[in-house]
Amino acid sequence: MKLLLDFLPIVLFFAAFKLQGIYVATAVLMAATVVQMAIAYATQKKLETMQKATLVLILLFGALTLVLQDERFIKWKPTVLYGAMSLAMAVALWGFRKNFLHMMLGAQLTLPSNVWRNLSIAWVGYCAFMAALNAYVALYFSTDAWVDFKLWGYVFPVAFLVAQGLYIAPHLKTDESASS
């Protein structure tokens, strides 16, 4: 259910774009994201920082797109989000010696500190890569191609998450190893 909820706004955006164009699709994305976050809040009784940032950026860049009738704003939203995430994690890790991933997920996963550090570095690099990739597609390709990239580009986060799972799997403690 959560996976469906996560992909619903982008699927609705894609369908609306194909049927009505970028401005209707932007409005649909904004509305679908508000509904998505309302459902997330209703079920979890809170929104994560990333969910809040995503909602604010979609509403801000979506409103700019609609009010100014300029599709560049919605196309640059992912670059801004990924760039901000990469920068925030890098500054936290190397500037303040804080690991956001460990702070957010440490209660759910027990991993050695070097694994947390490597994961954090991987996230910094991944977010920087995704920011640059979106910027490239937004700058050098048509809006049609960018929308297709937004839908089919989900292969990147899926591959990244699978790779992370494979990396951390040997470091996870099972109930059997924890009790022996």
Residue 69 backbone class (left: φ over 0; alpha: ψ -120 to 50; beta: rest): left
3-class SS letters over 7-60: HHHHHHHHHHHHHHCHHHHHHHHHHHHHHHHHHHHHHHCCCCHHHHHHHHHHHH
Instruction: Render pLDDT for 84-142 as a digit per residue (tens, 0 to 9).
Output: 999 999 999 999 999 989 998 888 888 999 999 999 999 999 999 999 999 999 999 99
Instruction: Render pLDDT for 60-89 as a digit per residue (tens, 0 to 9).
Output: 999 999 999 999 999 999 999 999 999 999
Six-digit token string for 121:
């570095």
Cα angle, residue 29 at apex, residues 123 and 50 outer, rounded to 5°? 30
Instruction: Render pLDDT for 98-107 as a digit per residue (tens, 0 to 9).
Output: 998 999 888 8
Least confident of 13-17, 66-70, 139-143, 171-175: 171-175
Six-digit token string for 71:
């599709």
Residue 86 backbone class (left: φ over 0; alpha: ψ -120 to 50; beta: rest): alpha
Q: What is the CA radius of gyration of the chain?
A: 18
